[in-house]
Structure 1
Amino acid sequence: MIANVEKRQKNVIDWKEHIELIAALLSGVLIIFAWIIGKNGEANISVTLYIIAFLIGGFAKAKEGVEETIKNRELNVEMLMIFAAIGSGIIGYWAEGAILIFIFAISGALETFTLNKSHKEISSLMELQPEEAWLIQKDGTDIKVSTSSLLVGSVLLVKPGERIPVDGQITRGSTSVDMSAINGESLPVTKGIGEELFAGTVNLSGAIEMEMTKPSSETLFQKIITLVQSAQSEKSPSQQFIEKFEGTYVKVVLVSVVVMMFLPHYLFDWDWTTTFYRAIVLLVVASPCALVASIMPATLASVSNGAKRGVLFKGGVHLEHFGSLKTIAFDKTGTLTTGKPIVTDFYTRENVESEVALDILSSIESQSNHPLAIAITNFAKENGVVPKERIEIEDVPGHGIRALINNEEYLVGNPRFVGREIAEDFKEGLALKLAEEGKTVIFLSDSKGIVAIAALRDTLREEAVVAIQSLKDLGIYTVMLTGDNEKTAAVIAKEAGLDSYIAECLPETKVEQLKILMKKYKSVGMVGDGINDAPALATATSGIAMGDGTDVALETADIVLMQNDLRRISYAIKLSRKMQRIVKQNVFFSIAVITILIIFNFMQIVDLPIGVIGHEGSTILVILNGLRMLNRIN
C-alpha cells in the first residue's frame, strides 16, 4: 500500500517536471488545428484556437516575465516576447504570434530540462542520506530514531545492507563498505575497529557498532551536497555580465521599436501597415533570447558533469577560471604522495640477525603513534615479527626514543640523537646514500654502536605520474611546494615528472611562492589537503582540495576532488575549456543571427514567420549546444 502511494507521488512529481513541455506541445497541436480550420474558411474559430494556444503555451514564460519585472523593476526578454506576440495579433498575424509563443515555450521547456538535469545529482545524493538509525541504549537494546536527533558520541548499530547513518568510527565488528557514494569507486573497502565511516555509504556484510563523531549536519556527505548546491546557484562572471546587459539591451530594443514605428514612414515613405509590421518583426528578431541562453545551460551542465565524476566546483566563477590556469602547484604529503610512509630498506651490523634487530626496533616503535613508528611496526608484522607488548621507554621530543630492554639501553632516532659520527660511518656511509635517494633514515643503537637502520619514504600516488604528464600535455607548468628537505623533494619531483620544486616551505613560504608564480603566470592553481595548505589554497586563483583532506582545506578550496584522483584535475581543465569554447560559440552565433535578422528586416527581406523561426530557432540551438556539456570529456 505504502509502495503504491509513493509510486503515485513520484508520478505526480514527474508530471509536474514536464508540465512546461506538455503545455508547449499542446499549444503546437492547437496551432495546427487552427491553421487547418482557417484554411477551410472558419476564421473566427481559427483565431479563437490561436488565442487559446497563446494562453496555454505562453502562460509559464509570461508569468515568469511579469514576476521578474515586478521583482527587479526592470523589463526582461520574456516581456519582449509577450509584446511581440500581442503586436502580431493586433496586426492580424495570429499564426505567426502563436508560433512565436510555441517555439519560445519549447525553448523554455528545454531550459527547465537543463535545470532539472543539473539538479539530478543533488536529488540522488539527498535520497542516499539515511533519515533513521538504530541507537544502542544504555541497557544494550536498540531503538530506531531520527538521525537529526542523534548527538556526537552516540553508539549506533548498523545492520548488513543498511546505509551508514552518520560519520563515525567502528567500535565493534568489521565489515566491507561500499564507498561509491563518496569516492565513486566500485570496489568495497574492508573496515575494522577504529576505522572511519561516512554517512551515505553502505554496510555490505557484517553487523557493526559505531560511535558518532560528527553532527549529522556536518557529515562529509552533507558537505558534498552543499558544495554542489552552492555551485549551481553561483553564477559565472560571463553569466552575471549577460544578465546585467539584458536589462539595458531590452530598453534599447523597445526604444528602437518605437522609432521604427514612425521614422521609416517619413524617411522612406513606407505605409503605416508596413512600418508597424517591420517594428513588430524588429521586436521579435532583436530580442536577446539566444544570447541570454548562451551561458547558463552550458554552465549548469558542466557543474553537473563534474559532480557526476567526482569533481565539485563551488561555483560557475571557479569553473570558468579553471580552464585559464597556466601553472598548478602541488603539496607533497597526502597530495602527490599517499602520506603513509613505508620501510624500503633495513640493514643490520654484521653480527646481528635481522629478525633480532627488527624485533627490538619494532617493540620500541610500537609504543609510539608517529607515522614513521607505525610504518616500522607494520613492516615487522609483514615479516613475521610480532613486537613485544610493553617496553619501558622515554620519548625525547624532536630526537627519538630511549628504551631499556633486558638492562640494555637502546636509542632510536636521528643521527644527532644516536651519535652523528657512528651514524655516518655505519656501513661506509650507507645512511647518506639512502638519504640522497629521498629516504628518511631511522637508527637503532646500543652501547656497541649502530645495531640497525631502517630507511623509509612516502610513496607516490599510483596516478601521480600520469596526472602530471596529462597536465603538461595541456600546457600546464607544474611545481611542488613542500615542507620536506631538499633531497627528498628532488627525488619525489623527479619521479612525478614535475617541472620544478621548492623544498622546506612553511605555510607562509608557500603563500609567498604562489604570489611569485601569480606575478609570472597570472593564473595559478594550488592542490593540497592539510590545514597548513589552507592559506595557499585561499591565495591561489583556484584552490583544489583532495576529498579526504582536512575540513579547513575543503572549506577553503574552490574545487574538491572527491575521488582523491589527481587525474581529475586535467579532466576538470578540459571540462572548463570546452565549456568556454561552447559559450563563445553560442555568444558569437546568437549575436550574428540577431545582427543578420535586423539588417534583413530593415531591407524587408525577412517576414515575421522567418523572423520567429530564425530567432527562436537560434535560442533552441544554443541551449542544445550547451547541453553537450553533459557528455563525458575525452
Structure 2
Amino acid sequence: MGNCNRENEYLIEKIKEHGELIAAIVSGLIILLAWRMESTGLSTASVIAYLAAFVIGGYAKAKEGILDTVQNKQLNVEVLMILAATGSVIIGYWTEGAILIFIFALSGALETYAMNKSHREISSLMDLQPEEAWLVRGGFEPIKVAVSSLKVGDHVLIKPGERIPTDGRIFKGTSSIDESAISGESLPVTKSLGEEVYAGTVNLNGALTVKMTKPNSESLFQRIINLVQSAQSEKSPSQQFIERFEGTYVKFVLFAVGLMLILPYFLLGWDYTTTFYRAMVLLVVASPCALVASIMPATLAAISNGAKNGILFKGGVHLENLSVLKLLAVDKTGTLTAGTPVVTDVIVRDSLNKSDTIATLAAIESQSNHPLAQAIVQYAYNNEIEPIQGIEIEEVPGWGLKANIEKSTYLVGKPEFVGKEEAVQFADHAAKQFAEEGKTVIFLKDTEGIAALVALKDTVRDEAKQAIQLLKTLGIQVTMLTGDNEKTAKTIAAEAGVDEYIAECLPETKVSHVKNYLANYRNVGMVGDGINDAPALATATVGIAMGGGTDVALETADVVLMKNDLSKIAYAVSLSKKMQKIVKQNIIFSIAVIALLIISNFLQVVDLPFGVIGHEGSTILVILNGLRMLRG
C-alpha cells in the first residue's frame, strides 16, 4: 500500500512538472480534431473544440500574464498573445488563433523545461544529502538516527560506500573520499585522522568515525546549495534591462497595432477585414518573446554548469563581469602557493651522516607546532627517516629551540640564535644564496659548530602556473599582491609567471592597489583565501575566493572555487565569454526575425500561421541555444 502511494505521488509530481507540455500537446491534438470536423462541415462542433484548445493550451500563460500585469502594473508579452488570439477569433480565423495558442504554449513549456533543467542540478545535489546517520555513543552499538537530530560534537560512523552525513573531522580510520559533489574533482582523495570531511561526499573503502564540527545548516554542502539557489534567483544586468524594456516595448507594439487598425484602411485603401487581420499579425510577430528568452535560460544554464564543475557564482551579474576582466590580482599564500612550507634543500657538515643528522633535527622539531618545524618533520617522514625518541626541548620564543641529547646541546633556529657569523659562512655562504631565492633558512648547531642547514619555501602550485598561462591567453593580465618581503615575492612571481608583483602589502594597501587597478583597467578581479584578503575581494569588480579559505573570504567573494584550483578561473572566464556570445547571438537573431516578420506583414507576404511559426519558432531556437551552456 505504501509503495502504491509513493508511486502515485511520484506520478502526480511528474504530471505537475510537465503540466505545461502536456496541456500544449493536448491542445494540439484538439486543434487537429477541430480542423478535421471543420473540413467535414461540423462547424459548431469545431468551434467548441477550438475553444477547448484555447482554454487548455492558453490557460497557464494567460494566467501568468494577467497576474504579472496586475502585480507589476506593467504589460507583458503574454497579454499580447491573448489579444492576438482573441483578435483572430473575432475575424473568424479560429484555426490560426488556435495554432498561435498551441505554439505559444509549446514554447512556454520549453522555457519552463529550460529553467527546470538548470534547477535540476541543484535538486540532484540536495538528493545527495543523507537523511539518516549511524550515531556512536560510548561503547554501545551505533544507532541509526535522523541527520537533523545530530549535534556538534557527536561521533558518526560512516561505512564503506555510504555518503557522509555531516561536516566533521576524522576521529578514527582512513579511507578514500569521493568529493566530486562539492569540488567537481573526479579523483578520490585519501583522508585520515584529523582531516576534514564534508557532507554529501562518499566514503569509498574504509570505515570512518567522524566528529561533527558544524550544524547541518552551516555545512559546506548546504552553503553550496544556498549559494547557487541565491545565484539563480538574482538577475543579471542584461536580464534586468530586457525586463524593463519589455513593458515599454509592449506599449509601443499596442500603439503600433492601434495605428495599423486605422491608417491602412484610410491611406492604403485596404478593406477593413484585411486591415484588422494585418493588425493581428503585427500583434503576433512584433511580440518580443524571443528577445525576452534570450538571456535567462543561458544564464541559469551557465550557473548550473559552474556548480557542476566546482565553481559557485553568487549571481548572474558576477558571471557577466567575468567576461570583461582586464586584470586579475592574486594573493600569494594559499592561492598561488600551497600555503604550507616544504623543505627544498638540506646541507649537512661533511663529518656527519646526513640521515642521522636529519633524524636528530626532526626529533627536536617534532616538539614544536611551528609550520617550519612541521615541514622538517614531514621531510623526514617522506624520506623514511625515523626521528629519535625521548628528547626534551626548551623553546626560546622568537629565536628557536634548545635540546639536550646524550650530554650534547643542540640549538635550532635563525642565524642570530646559533651564531650569525658562523651561520653565514657555513657551506660557502649557502644561506645567502637561498635567501636571494626567497627561501627561509634554519640552522642546527651542535657542540662542534653548525651541523646542518635546511632551506624551506612555500612552493607555487603546479596548477597555478598553468592557470596563469591560460588567463594570459584569454587577454587577462595577472599581478600578485603579497605581504612577503621583496626577495620572496620576486622569486614566487618569477616562478608563477605573473606579469608583476607588489610586496609587503597590508590589507589596506591591497585595497589601495585594487582601487588603482580599477581606475586604470575598469574591470578587475581579486583572488584570495584569508581574512586579510576580504577587503580587497569586496573592492574588486569580481572577488574570487578559494574554497579552502576562511569563512570571511567565502562570504565576501562573488565567486567561490570549491577546489583550490586557479585553473577553474580560466574555465569560469571562458564560460562567461561563451554565455555572452550566446546571448548576443540570441538578441541579434530575435531582433532580426521580428524586423523581417514586421516588414513581411506590411508587404502582405506573410499570413498569420507563418507569422506564428516564425515568431514562436525563433523563441524556441533561442531557448535551445541558451541550453548549450549546460555542456562543458
The TM-score with structure 2 as length reference comes to 0.96
Aligned position for 2:59? 59
Structure 1 position 39, deviation (Å) = 2.2
Aligned position for 2:441? 441
Matched residue type, 2:208: I
Aligned position for 2:277? 277
Aligned equivalents of 1:439 and 1:304: distance in 2?
Answer: 42
Aligned equivalents of 1:234 and 1:94: distance in 2?
Answer: 40
Aligned position for 2:355? 355
Aligned position for 2:215? 215
Structure 1 position 109, deviation (Å) = 0.9
Structure 1 position 300, deviation (Å) = 0.9
Aligned position for 2:125? 125
What secondary structure is seen at the aligned counterpart in 2 of 1:339? Answer: strand
Aligned equivalents of 1:557 and 1:317: distance in 2?
Answer: 13
Counting aligned pairs with the same residue, the percent is: 65
Structure 1 position 581, deviation (Å) = 1.2
| Residue 198 (structure 2) pairs with residue 198 (structure 1) | yes
Aligned equivalents of 2:211 and 2:595: distance in 1?
Answer: 65
Matched residue type, 1:64: E
Structure 1 position 291, deviation (Å) = 1.0
Structure 1 position 507, deviation (Å) = 1.8
CA 1:204/1:448 → structure 2, altered by over 3 Å: closer, same or farther?
same
Aligned equivalents of 1:78 and 1:280: distance in 2?
Answer: 14
Aligned position for 1:466? 466
Mean Cα deviation higher: 182-191 or 582-591? 182-191
Aligned position for 2:541? 541
Aligned position for 2:575? 575
Structure 1 position 583, deviation (Å) = 0.9
Within 5 Å, give how 1:160-179 maps onto structure 2: 160-179=160-179
Aligned position for 2:494? 494
Aligned equivalents of 1:387 and 1:509: distance in 2?
Answer: 43
Aligned equivalents of 1:384 and 1:81: distance in 2?
Answer: 76
Q: Deviations over 1:373-409 (max 9, x none)?
A: 1110011223333224443333334332233334443
Matched residue type, 1:328: L
Structure 1 position 489, deviation (Å) = 2.1
Matched residue type, 1:211: K
Aligned position for 1:326? 326
Aligned position for 1:238? 238
Q: Deviations over 1:23-42 (max 9, x none)?
A: 11221222222223222232
Structure 1 position 59, deviation (Å) = 1.2
- Extract unaligned runs of 5+ from structure 2: none
Aligned equivalents of 2:266 and 2:395: distance in 1?
Answer: 99
Aligned 8 A contact 2:399 2:417 in 1: yes
Aligned 8 A contact 2:525 2:543 in 1: yes
Structure 1 position 114, deviation (Å) = 0.7
CA 1:429/1:4 → structure 2, altered by over 3 Å: closer, same or farther?
farther
| Residue 552 (structure 2) pairs with residue 552 (structure 1) | yes
What secondary structure is seen at the aligned counterpart in 1 of 2:459? Answer: coil
Aligned equivalents of 1:131 and 1:374: distance in 2?
Answer: 39
What secondary structure is seen at the aligned counterpart in 2 of 1:427? Answer: helix
Aligned equivalents of 1:249 and 1:541: distance in 2?
Answer: 31
Aligned equivalents of 1:28 and 1:523: distance in 2?
Answer: 50
Aligned equivalents of 2:536 and 2:6: distance in 1?
Answer: 48
Computed over aligned residues only, the root mean square deviation of the Cα atoms, in angstroms, reads 1.9
Matched residue type, 2:535: P
Aligned position for 2:403? 403
Q: Deviations over 1:165-201 (max 9, x none)?
A: 1111121222222222222233322222211111111
Aligned equivalents of 2:204 and 2:625: distance in 1?
Answer: 42
Within 5 Å, give how 1:99-118 maps onto structure 2: 99-118=99-118
Matched residue type, 1:168: G
Q: Deviations over 1:45-101 (max 9, x none)?
A: 222222111111111111111221222122211111111101111111111111111
Matched residue type, 2:59: F
What secondary structure is seen at the aligned counterpart in 2 of 1:426? Answer: helix
Q: Deviations over 1:503-537 (max 9, x none)?
A: 22222222222112211111111112222221221
Structure 1 position 417, deviation (Å) = 2.9
Aligned position for 1:427? 427
Aligned position for 2:372? 372
Aligned equivalents of 1:114 and 1:59: distance in 2?
Answer: 20
CA 1:3/1:471 → structure 2, altered by over 3 Å: closer, same or farther?
farther
Mean Cα deviation higher: 484-493 or 16-25? 484-493
Aligned position for 2:626? 626
Aligned equivalents of 2:539 and 2:449: distance in 1?
Answer: 49
Matched residue type, 2:346: F
Aligned equivalents of 2:373 and 2:154: distance in 1?
Answer: 32
Mean Cα deviation higher: 319-328 or 165-174? 165-174
Aligned equivalents of 1:69 and 1:416: distance in 2?
Answer: 78
Aligned 8 A contact 2:75 2:251 in 1: yes
| Residue 400 (structure 2) pairs with residue 391 (structure 1) | no
Aligned 8 A contact 2:347 2:427 in 1: no
Aligned position for 2:42? 42
- Extract unaligned runs of 5+ from structure 1: none
Aligned equivalents of 1:4 and 1:453: distance in 2?
Answer: 74
Aligned position for 1:33? 33
Aligned equivalents of 2:15 and 2:533: distance in 1?
Answer: 48
Structure 1 position 252, deviation (Å) = 2.0
Structure 1 position 370, deviation (Å) = 1.9
Matched residue type, 1:509: T
Aligned equivalents of 2:331 and 2:390: distance in 1?
Answer: 37
Structure 1 position 6, deviation (Å) = 4.2
What secondary structure is seen at the aligned counterpart in 2 of 1:338? Answer: strand
CA 1:2/1:42 → structure 2, altered by over 3 Å: closer, same or farther?
closer
Matched residue type, 2:117: K
